[in-house]
Structure 1
């Protein structure tokens, strides 16, 4: 039989990612006032069509980068070559204001919500282009806070430009071979250049090796380098702005110089599991010119805005990956017939139960992430209360970790819902899943981020600010709604003391990860409740669904299990820790482990 003969499989068609989304339009309706809501709503609907056309086409043309280190004459050139599709993706998102919107602040603190919605809608079709764009966002914020007048005049306008011919992208160089996420072991050294001056700041020469540079085709990078005694660890690190190529300011159409023009050598491109299109490299810095940002030896503190912003971007990327895979699975269920062609998948109860579970997770994560996004916008616009600032500090590592941790299973369920067709590369599941896995690592693993939430609570009032907000939302429930959700409200209230206890010093060594998980379950539940309260008060058509989402998430999303896991973790003693080591290594005694450690240092 010829392939043209016999049964014809009906291809699925994805709808506009914004208008068909179960979360974003209602969030816009709740958060934005009238005129602003209309403008943003119309633009996001228009952008949804851009995602379906121009962005998908550019994504299909994106290919892996390569670096040519030497030319035919044996000269070192370090020519980084990226694909036309990758460059088109960056251009589209720059024109769409992916970096510009939050800094234009047309809608005040809500500009952050608007900008991140564009990322969420497009992340599944953008080949991780938000990796460099997120660092560009963070770099612009650092320069906005501590940059010299010349940096604010020359560099910030390019970082946030909507014109791809002049727009800059930025990198972030922290990771080095000795420490990974532990920057206290940074080997890169910065030395003042005698007699050198620049309006951009004190001029330094940078020497070192950066193990991961995820935006090697960028124009500038913020980087940590040592300016003091190595024994001081992270307390002798300073923050610098490093041009990747010189001259830094070039006219449109000017050929892109090699990084060798600033004494930066591309050792090799990383061979990664996913994010294949992103040019990630190992770099040698052999006297690269750089400009000191802010005071000496305060680099870790000064680079914090970059970390916070890129962590929120990472969280949005995880949720956006779920959105895209769920959209594919939902679209397929509308056209795929089963039971001898008598029933569509969308009418099969078991199939819908699986997709409903994924949708429940998507809704919970989306509301939690945009809750943090709104707080970020308030802080940047100077309208956040002290408690909101404290809550943002507490939630930022949590939204990143919780989103990355939960995305993978949801993506796999969506892929499996298409059966064999889901395993085909053409659907995009394979790329999305592999790319999404990096969010468990970039900007901190779950363990690293769980320890960061512990550090956040060292500041007085952080946990109480979260508890106060939680109680405020719980107490906002009207009598009409209370009768439907009283059981779920009780579950949240009963979990709060466990959370407070988990973050009360001294923190048990096994509890941080379980505590972060419980924090995330409570926060996501409360954000869903906040939306349901609004839906009831305004008589929204979907209010019953919003109520059901909140109830199901509290009952079935894992809150009870999170409480139990935390109690188990806090009950663990030294014998459990010792047993964990035995389970992993099979080493029977402390002496055996000590012998292994000694051998490792030989």
Structure 2
């Protein structure tokens, strides 16, 4: 039989990334003022068309970066080569104002919401472009907060430019060989030096090695280096702005920076991630001396949201592919489409509910971020933002890839083929389980946030109670049981947060529990609105809330909390025996 003979599977339709999304349009109707929503609808419709027509076809052109370390005469040159597809997507993101929207403030306190709605829509087709763009956003925020007037004058126009010819990208150089997320063991040292013409701040010379430096194609970087004694740990670190391909500094990698090698990663192959040696590298102090970790936390608040959006946007694209495929793939002897097979649709429902919960939670936090940056957030809102920032990152990174894997399975063998793009999306999103903190690191940050502001949990509970009270007046009986379950779960939080200070096994389950409750509260807020305005999605919104609470994560995470509480000293000891075998408490490994 010739290949063109016999059965031919019809291709699945191309869904519009925004107009056919099952969650985002309705959510934006609720959280954006009418005039802003009208403008955003038009822009996202245009953006979706461009993504499908112009950006999606670039996928085969995105290839791993490479480096030429020496020229034909043996001279060290460290020339970085990125692929044509990567460069074109990077230019597209800059032209679209990937980060600029947040700082142009055309949408006032809603600017972050508009920016991240656009970024999430772009994620599925833009090959982890959020990595250099997100770090550039974080660096921009740091310069706004801590930069000298010269830095603001010289650098901000480039960091926010929509012209690829003049725009700057920034890397983020924190990770070193001794520590990973633990920067307290940073070895790179910073020595004060004399000023020269063109200095944008207090100059230092850096010497060390950065082990995992993303966006190696950047024009600059922000990085930590030791200005105090080693015994001070993280308290002896300062933050620096490191110039690379900008101004008086020539290409390709000048300023005493040597590209040792590019990392061979599981995913994000388009992103050039490098091991960098710093030898006599000039840099400028960014922020107060020996307060680098405090300063970098402000960047972390931004990059963790970018990380979350990458997870949720990748899940969105995988779900879209699986949903579209179900409308053309026939089973049962070609008699029934997958979309009409109840068992198959039930699997797609699980992915959709996860996606809906993550979108509502993520944009709840983004709304608070926008208000905070515009100076409009109340004390209570600022406290809630501090709790939600590590929560959304840890939770989305942990669970989104599971939904993506389920979407892959919904296509059968076709889902495992690279042509669908699901494999690449999963590999790229998996980095978020690690970048900017694993779920364990995020869980520790959540408990630290409560320790620093004990009233944060009280503020959060008061906010949750207000949503529940508003909902009880509008929801009918089928949903009231779910509201009662949610209310009881909310009231347990003070006890659990209190016990987490002495029971190490509670920390990560507590983040999952807190995230599940937060998802439920934002889903409840949305359904209360959709019922009150008679939105077309109200029936689905109500059922999604009910299922999330009664059949989903709240019950599961509560069980985890309960198990972690039971004789946890014995459980810790048994955990070691299960993992390492034998009586590890008495034997040396």
Instruction: Give the TM-score category using the shorter length.
Output: over 0.9
**SS in structure 1 at match of 2:504:** coil
Structure 1 residue corresponding to 2:280, chosen from 273, 282, 287? 287
**Residue 213 (structure 1) aligned with residue 213 (structure 2):** yes
**SS in structure 1 at match of 2:106:** coil
Aligned counterparts of 1:561 and 1:74: Cα–Cα separation in 2:
60
**SS in structure 2 at match of 1:30:** helix
**Residue 426 (structure 1) aligned with residue 422 (structure 2):** no
Aligned counterparts of 2:205 and 2:246: Cα–Cα separation in 1:
14
Within 5 Å, give how 1:43-82 maps onto structure 2. Answer: 43-82=43-82
Structure 1 residue corresponding to 2:305, chosen from 289, 312, 317? 312
Question: Which deviates more, 207-216 or 559-568?
Answer: 559-568
Give, in angstroms, the shift of residue 202 of structure 1: 0.2
Question: Is this contact kept in 2: 1:345–1:352, CA < 8 A?
Answer: yes
In the alignment, which residue of structure 2 is the partner of 1:352?
Answer: 345
Question: Is this contact kept in 1: 2:195–2:202, CA < 8 A?
Answer: no
**Residue 591 (structure 1) aligned with residue 577 (structure 2):** no
Question: Is this contact kept in 2: 1:488–1:555, CA < 8 A?
Answer: yes
**Residue 569 (structure 1) aligned with residue 564 (structure 2):** yes
Aligned counterparts of 2:477 and 2:5: Cα–Cα separation in 1:
58
Question: Which deviates more, 514-523 or 570-579?
Answer: 570-579
Decide whether aligned partners of structure 1 residues 354 and 233 sit closer, same or farther in structure 2, where only a CA change above 3 A counts: same
**SS in structure 1 at match of 2:72:** coil
Structure 1 residue corresponding to 2:469, chosen from 450, 470, 475? 475
In the alignment, which residue of structure 1 is the partner of 2:508?
Answer: 513
In the alignment, which residue of structure 1 is the partner of 2:526?
Answer: 531
Question: Which deviates more, 237-246 or 425-434?
Answer: 237-246
**SS in structure 2 at match of 1:13:** coil
Question: Is this contact kept in 1: 2:506–2:565, CA < 8 A?
Answer: yes
**Residue 7 (structure 1) aligned with residue 1 (structure 2):** no
Q: Deviations over 1:428-477 (max 9, x none)?
A: 01111111111101100011111110100012311112111111111111
Q: Deviations over 1:142-194 (max 9, x none)?
A: 10111111111111111111111101111111111101100000001100113
In the alignment, which residue of structure 1 is the partner of 2:457?
Answer: 463
Decide whether aligned partners of structure 1 residues 6 and 112 sit closer, same or farther in structure 2, where only a CA change above 3 A counts: same
CA RMSD of aligned residues (A): 1.3
Any unmatched runs of 5+ in structure 2? Answer: none
Question: Is this contact kept in 2: 1:361–1:557, CA < 8 A?
Answer: no
Aligned counterparts of 1:454 and 1:395: Cα–Cα separation in 2:
11
**Residue 522 (structure 1) aligned with residue 517 (structure 2):** yes
Question: Is this contact kept in 2: 1:192–1:203, CA < 8 A?
Answer: yes
Aligned counterparts of 1:494 and 1:481: Cα–Cα separation in 2:
18
**Residue 485 (structure 1) aligned with residue 485 (structure 2):** no
In the alignment, which residue of structure 1 is the partner of 2:32?
Answer: 32
**Residue 298 (structure 1) aligned with residue 298 (structure 2):** no
Question: Is this contact kept in 2: 1:517–1:562, CA < 8 A?
Answer: yes
Give, in angstroms, the shift of residue 199 of structure 1: 4.9
Question: Is this contact kept in 1: 2:201–2:285, CA < 8 A?
Answer: yes
Question: Is this contact kept in 1: 2:18–2:44, CA < 8 A?
Answer: yes
Structure 2 residue corresponding to 1:501, chosen from 489, 495, 503? 495
Question: Is this contact kept in 2: 1:11–1:335, CA < 8 A?
Answer: yes
Decide whether aligned partners of structure 1 residues 590 and 539 sit closer, same or farther in structure 2, where only a CA change above 3 A counts: same
In the alignment, which residue of structure 1 is the partner of 2:548?
Answer: 553
Give, in angstroms, the shift of residue 247 of structure 1: 3.7
Within 5 Å, give how 1:206-245 maps onto structure 2. Answer: 206-245=206-245
Give, in angstroms, the shift of residue 409 of structure 1: 1.6
Aligned counterparts of 1:572 and 1:400: Cα–Cα separation in 2:
30
Aligned counterparts of 1:584 and 1:24: Cα–Cα separation in 2:
42
Q: Deviations over 1:366-412 (max 9, x none)?
A: 10001111111111111111111110100111101110111122111
Question: Is this contact kept in 2: 1:323–1:362, CA < 8 A?
Answer: yes
Question: Is this contact kept in 2: 1:173–1:224, CA < 8 A?
Answer: yes
Question: Is this contact kept in 2: 1:502–1:508, CA < 8 A?
Answer: no
Give, in angstroms, the shift of residue 196 of structure 1: 4.1
Question: Is this contact kept in 2: 1:510–1:572, CA < 8 A?
Answer: no
Aligned counterparts of 1:240 and 1:589: Cα–Cα separation in 2:
44
Question: Is this contact kept in 1: 2:505–2:564, CA < 8 A?
Answer: yes
**SS in structure 2 at match of 1:443:** coil
Within 5 Å, give how 1:130-529 maps onto structure 2. Answer: 130-196=130-196, 198-245=198-245, 247=247, 257-259=251-253, 261-458=254-451, 459-504=453-498, 506-529=501-524
State the TM-score, normalized to the length of structure 2: 0.98
Question: Is this contact kept in 2: 1:219–1:248, CA < 8 A?
Answer: no
Question: Is this contact kept in 2: 1:44–1:118, CA < 8 A?
Answer: yes
Decide whether aligned partners of structure 1 residues 201 and 468 sit closer, same or farther in structure 2, where only a CA change above 3 A counts: same
Any unmatched runs of 5+ in structure 1? Answer: 250-255, 597-602
Question: Is this contact kept in 1: 2:576–2:584, CA < 8 A?
Answer: no
Give, in angstroms, the shift of residue 556 of structure 1: 1.8
Aligned counterparts of 2:555 and 2:409: Cα–Cα separation in 1:
27
Give, in angstroms, the shift of residue 482 of structure 1: 4.4
Give, in angstroms, the shift of residue 31 of structure 1: 1.5
Question: Which deviates more, 168-177 or 563-572?
Answer: 563-572
Give, in angstroms, the shift of residue 123 of structure 1: 1.1
Question: Is this contact kept in 2: 1:193–1:204, CA < 8 A?
Answer: yes
Aligned counterparts of 2:58 and 2:382: Cα–Cα separation in 1:
39
Aligned counterparts of 2:74 and 2:128: Cα–Cα separation in 1:
34
In the alignment, which residue of structure 2 is the partner of 1:600?
Answer: none
Question: Is this contact kept in 2: 1:67–1:80, CA < 8 A?
Answer: yes
Give, in angstroms, the shift of residue 590 of structure 1: 2.3
In the alignment, which residue of structure 2 is the partner of 1:253?
Answer: none
